[in-house]
Amino acid sequence: MRLSKFISTSGYASRREADVLIQKGTVIVNNSICTDFSTEVTNEDEVIVENTLLTLSSPRLWMINKPKGFLCTSKDPMGRKTIYELIPDRIPRVISVGRLDLNSEGLLLLTNNGELSRFFELPKNKVERCYLVEILGSLNSKKISLLEKGLNVGGLNYGPIKVKVRKKTKQKFTLELKLQEGKNREIRNIASYFDWKVIRLKRTKYGDYTLGNLKERELVEVKIPELFTYSTR
C-alpha cells in the first residue's frame, strides 16, 4: 500500500496528516528519509515516523464520553487538556473519528486504524451524527426550514439537517440535529449565522453507536462496523 495509507492504517495519523509528515521529511523507510508520496510499503518494511516504529494490527474501535474542556488532538501548543489524558495506558495509540471542539461534549469514537476513521468520515458513506443542542435565541419555522433544506454560510455549503424541537421557552430551546457531513464547527457556524448562542452541544449518536448511559470520561471497546473492509495491501 502507499506510504500515507500505511501511516494512516497504523493509527498514527489521518491520511491528510500522513501526507504532511511525509512532506516534512519526518518519515523513515528502511533507514532512509522518504518524501515520495507514491512509495509502496508492506508490513515487512521498517517505517518510522517521529522516532516511532509503525506496525499494522487489526482495527479496533472505542467509544468515550468526552467532557467539555478537552481538545481532540495529541498536542496543544497552549498546553490545554486533550482527550489523550483520559485514555488508559493499556489502550494502543489511537486517533479520533472526527472531532468535538473544546466546548462540546458527548460521544467520541476512537480507533487504532486511520482507514476505519476515514470510513466513518467519508460523505459517500452517509454516516449520520446526532446532536442535542441547547440554544439561547429565537426560533421560527423559517430557520427550521433553512436547516432542513441546507444553507450557505460564509461561502460554505451545509447539507440538509434533520431537526426536532425537544424543548422550547420564550428565550431558550433545545434541538435534536441529525446530519451526515460533520464539517468543522458546522453547528456552531450555523448557530452564529442565526444569531443563536450555543449553551450546550452534545453528540449522542454516531452511526450505529449511541452514547446511552456511558458515564462522562468512561471508555468502552465496541465492534467495528460490518460494512468496513480491512486490507493490508
Single pTM value for the model: 0.82
- The verdict on whether 195 is a catalytic residue reads no
- Does position 230 have pLDDT exceeding 80, yes or no? no
Q: What is the pLDDT of residues 41-84, one digit of tens each?
A: 988 899 999 988 888 888 999 999 999 999 998 888 899 999 99
Q: Of 36, 76, 101, 195, which one is the catalytic site residue?
A: 101
* Gyration radius of the chain's alpha carbons: 20
- Topology (CATH) of 128-206: Alpha-Beta Plaits (3.30.70)
Q: Look up residue 91 and give its three cell numbers.
A: 489502550
Q: What is the pLDDT of residues 130-187, one digit of tens each?
A: 999 999 999 999 999 999 999 999 899 999 999 999 999 988 999 999 999 878 899 9
Pick the CATH number of 3-54 from 3.10.290.10, 1.10.150.650, 1.10.10.60, 3.40.50.300: 3.10.290.10
Query: Domain limits of the chain?
Result: 3-54, 61-109+119-123+211-222, 128-206
The secondary structure of 96-108, three-state, reads ECCCCCCCCEEEE
Q: What is the pLDDT of residues 196-216, one digit of tens each?
A: 999 999 999 999 999 999 999
Asked whether 174 and 167 are in contact (CB, 8 A), the reply is yes
Q: What is the pLDDT of residues 104-121, one digit of tens each?
A: 999 999 999 888 988 998
Q: Which of 141, 149, 231, 156 is nearest to 192 (CA)?
A: 156
- Does position 194 have pLDDT exceeding 60, yes or no? yes
| Total residues belonging to the chain | 233
Query: 128-206: same fold as 61-109+119-123+211-222?
Result: yes
The secondary structure of 102-155, three-state, reads CCCEEEEEEECCHHHHHHHHCHHHCCCEEEEEEEECCCCHHHHHHHHHCEEECC
Please name the CATH architecture into which domain 61-109+119-123+211-222 falls: 2-Layer Sandwich (3.30)
Q: Residue 129's beta-bridge partner residues?
A: 179, 206
Element (H, E) at 161: none
Q: What is residue 179's predicted lDDT score, i.e. its pLDDT?
A: 95
